[in-house]
Amino acid sequence: MNSHRRDHLGTDRSEPLPVLIIGNGPSGICLSYLLSGYTPYVRPDAVHPHPLLQRKLAEAPGVSLLDQDLDYLSEGLEGRCQSPVALLFDALLRPDTDFGGNMESVLTWKHQKERAIPHMVLGRNLPGGAWHSIEGSMVTLSQGQWMGLPDLQVKEWIRRKRRGLRNSRATAGDIAHYYRDYVTKKDLGRNFVSGAVVTAVEWGTPESGGSGGREPSPLFQVSGFVTTEDQSRRPFSLCARNVVLATGTSDSPARLGVPGEALPFVHYELAALEAAVRAGAVTPASGPVLIVGAGLSAADAVLYARHCNIPVIHTFRRPVDDPGLVFNQLPKMLYPEYHKVHQMMREQSILSPSPYEGYLSLPEHRLLLFKADRQAVFQDRDGLQKVFGVALVLVLIGSHPDLSFLPGAGADLAMDPDQPLSAKRNPIDVDPFTYQSTRQEGLYAVGPLAGDNFVRFVQGGALAVASSLLRKEARKPP
């Protein structure tokens, strides 16, 4: 990977790069695959179980999906995602999965190198994005087969590694490994630069003309630094005709906004607890770990601490039976470990003390402040203040996209520019069939940034971008 760093970032380019992808998670990897000339066609012998979709697919036999009208094909599809193209690509890759089936994809892939568009994928970590920051032993929420990228089934990959799925789910560590392997197996490595952090993207006036009758498009200047082998930082600056934002939403953890939050014992990643356990800074005999939040990351932290016999205080603002809590939406049979945490939240609460040791939940409590002597001050629903001594604090209340490298931190690109950018409530406003920003030509956004929150659905965004870029580059076969 290091030689690629030098080759890619050290060369003076006279020509701008056609495409620069920022972020090397599942979205960036899937897009790199499609831009490398891997072209999806519907298998001539395949019959899709959705009759309307099957009829439409049969209208254009032998035409690559990238060259078809994605708007037309996806019309009328329904599922667990808002994006029509995400639903379409998912339906073609996993035709009957939402009905419990295991039907093979109706797509076949041809490697047509002449259709490849030169591109580069920059990422802070190794290829796999957020999956390299998620605790490796954590079991995915999604079924293992939904974590896979095109033309390499997770199940098959896991079988070859002589590993297994747990209750049809994979561990985060296996998934991170799968994404890295995917880049190697599909020979995409030369497009990837790991350890590269983008700190600024600027664009100017449209470049005039260009050959082949292309529309004038703006030029993007992308700069940042790459961490070299000796851990020094080397700056880089690249010019690109199109930029794809695939930076996810995990880099900027949400804060409580209370006094004392910057104290050194307050952390925002499960990795901090793991490090403290390894270093012996928290032990079964130490003070409790305070875990703040009622989502799955907080539940993972509770499970990890309990596994290490570390005492836990678990605090959250909502009532335990609030229908908005994720635990109240997950089927108990499929997620026994999260059900167990939910049960503890309910039964081992300060509101109904129980004989269990080592775990105490504080539902409907608000944190007021942290003190330097490791005291956490809370207020309960009746306005009563309570103080607990803690060994370490883990705040796991979600995260925000970090687009600080864009002009105005990307605020103008959101659906509602007056509200903070948010994957769930206010994503980047993109055209649903190209994923190009509605505000800036040549700028694309995929994955949670564009409102697609699961790996199975981020791939539709990549398909839409690839299709749009192929049209722009006029690379369709004659």
Shortest gap between Cβ of 375 and ligand FAD (angstroms)?
29
- Cα dist. 351→214, 287, 323, 390, 452 in Å? 67, 21, 19, 20, 38
Interface positions with ligand FAD (CB under 6 A): 22-28, 122-125, 129-130, 134, 140-142, 196-198, 246-248, 250-251, 297, 405, 447-448, 453-456, 458
CA distances from 218 to 131, 178, 214, 443 (A): 33, 36, 12, 9
Tell me whether residue 376 or residue 403 sits nearer to ligand FAD (CB atom): 403
Cβ closest to ligand FAD, residue 27 vs residue 68: 27
Alpha carbons within 13 angstroms on the beta-carbon side of residue 177 total: 14
Helix (H) or strand (E) holding 446: none
- Residue closer to ligand FAD (CB basis): 129 or 260: 129
- Residue 165's SS3 state is coil
Please identify, using beta-carbon distances, which residue of 338 and 359 lies nearer to ligand FAD: 338
- How far apart CA 275 and CA 127 sit, in angstroms, is 23
> What number of other Cβ atoms are within 10 A of residue 211's Cβ?
6
Distance CA 268, CA 394 (A): 5
Minimum CB–partner distance for residue 22 and ligand FAD (Å) = 5
Q: How far is the CB of 226 from ligand FAD (least distance, A)?
A: 10
* Distance, CA of 138 to CA of 26 (rounded, Å): 18
Return the bridge partners of 370, or none: 376
**Least CB distance to ligand FAD at residue 130 (A):** 3
Task: Tell me if 242 sits within 8 A of 469, measured CB to CB.
Answer: yes
Among residues 124 and 472, whose Cβ is nearest to ligand FAD?
A: 124
How far is residue 52's CA from residue 72's CA, in Å, rounded to a whole number?
A: 11
Residue nearest to ligand FAD (CB): 248
* Nearest Cα residue to 121 out of 19, 217, 218, 50: 19
The nearer residue to ligand FAD, 38 or 405, going by C-beta atoms, is 405
DSSP code per residue over 334-387: T-HHHHHHHHHHHHTBTTS--S--SEEEETT-EEEEEETTTEEEEE-TTS-EEE
Residue closer to ligand FAD, measured from CB, 370 or 435:
435
Q: Are 72 and 56 in contact (CB under 8 A)?
A: yes
Check if the beta carbon of residue 130 is closer than 8 Å to that of residue 247.
Answer: no
Least CB distance from residue 278 to ligand FAD, whole Å? Answer: 20
- CA distance linking residue 247 with residue 235, whole number of Å: 19
Nearer of residues 25 and 40 to ligand FAD, judged by Cβ:
25
**Residue (of 275, 270, 280) closest to 300 by Cα position:** 270
**Which residue's CB is nearer to ligand FAD, number 28 or number 363?**
28
Question: With respect to ligand FAD, which residue has the nearer C-beta, 328 or 375?
Answer: 328
Give kind and range of the element (H or E) at residue 162.
none
Assign 244 to helix, strand or coil: strand
Shortest separation between residue 233's beta carbon and ligand FAD, angstroms: 13
Rounded least distance, CB 412 to ligand FAD, Å:
18
Give whichever of 455 and 465 is closer to ligand FAD, judged by the CB atom. Answer: 455
CB of 381 to ligand FAD, least distance (A): 28
Least spacing, CB of residue 180 vs ligand FAD, in Å? 12
What minimum distance in Å lies between the beta carbon of 417 and ligand FAD? 21
Task: Please state, as a whole number, how many other Cβ atoms lie within 10 Å of the Cβ of residue 31.
Answer: 31
Smallest gap from Cβ 351 to ligand FAD, in A, equals: 28
Q: Which is nearer to ligand FAD, 117 or 130 (CB)?
A: 130
Task: Compute the CA torsion angle 262, 265, 269, 270 (nearest 10 deg).
Answer: -170
Buried b / exposed e over 108-146, threshold 16 CB at 10 Å, is ebeeeeebbbebbbbbbbbbbbbbbbbbeebbbeebbbb
Shortest distance in whole angstroms from residue 405 CB to ligand FAD: 5
Handedness of CA 399, 403, 404, 407 (dihedral sign): negative
